[in-house]
Amino acid sequence: MINNNPKKLIAFDINSTKEIELSLIADNKYIFTPKKDEKVIDIKLSGSLEEQEDVNQEYQVEFSQTDDGFTMMTVNGTSYPVEILANRQNEYELLVNGVGYSFSIETPFSMQRKKMLLAQAKESPVMQLKAPIPGTVVEVLVQAGDVVKSGDTLLVLEAMKMQNAILANIKGRIRKIYVKQGDSVSQRDLLIEIERE
């Protein structure tokens, strides 16, 4: 069965610092053969949306379960163990060979919107600092109103008996502090807001 769907999809590398480091556009052309669940995704690999016509390569993708519990993904003859860690709507967190990757699947339209939002966030005057790991706040070294520069230690977080310094990532003024000494925080809890100067 060939399913020809004109809708294009883009895999967008969430962790990439560049706007698009790798974009994959699937023509969503599936080929199912009834014997084994073999799928062919027609992929166009390109550096940006405009250059999408440049590369047009076909990847043969297969999945198999091993007896010892791994999911192997084979692409054009190469096999790696893969794992989907999390999937929230169009966002994916995956492991290939134990290395983590984050992708969001976008249509050309949502991609444009995403790029716009990213650009806006970059210019946003307030930077929110979140807890990178769950832990206990050992010490808060700044007060609201303090002027800090990138690299300054703002607070110390203790997790698994290790003390971790939380540093400022921009130059600015402390707008608000959401935690105090002794507080337990979960991952991604808001710690401090810095106003860009």
> For residues 101 and 91, is the Cβ–Cβ distance under 8 A?
no
Longest dimension (CA), the chain: 67
Minimum Å gap between C-beta 100 and another protein is 5
Q: Does 92 bind another protein (CB under 8 A)?
A: yes
| Piece of the chain touching another protein by CB under 8 A; list 46-54, 72-80, 120-128, 169-177 | 72-80
By CB under 8 A, residue 39 contacts another protein: yes
Q: Could you say which of 20, 22, 127, 142 contacts another protein (CB under 8 A)? A: 22
Residue 186 as a binder of another protein (CB under 8 A): the answer is no
Give the residues lining the site for another protein (CB under 8 A): 9, 11, 13, 22, 24, 26, 28, 30, 39, 41, 43, 45, 59, 61, 66, 68-70, 73, 75, 78, 80-84, 87, 90, 92, 94-101, 103, 105, 132-133, 138-139, 141, 153, 156, 159-164
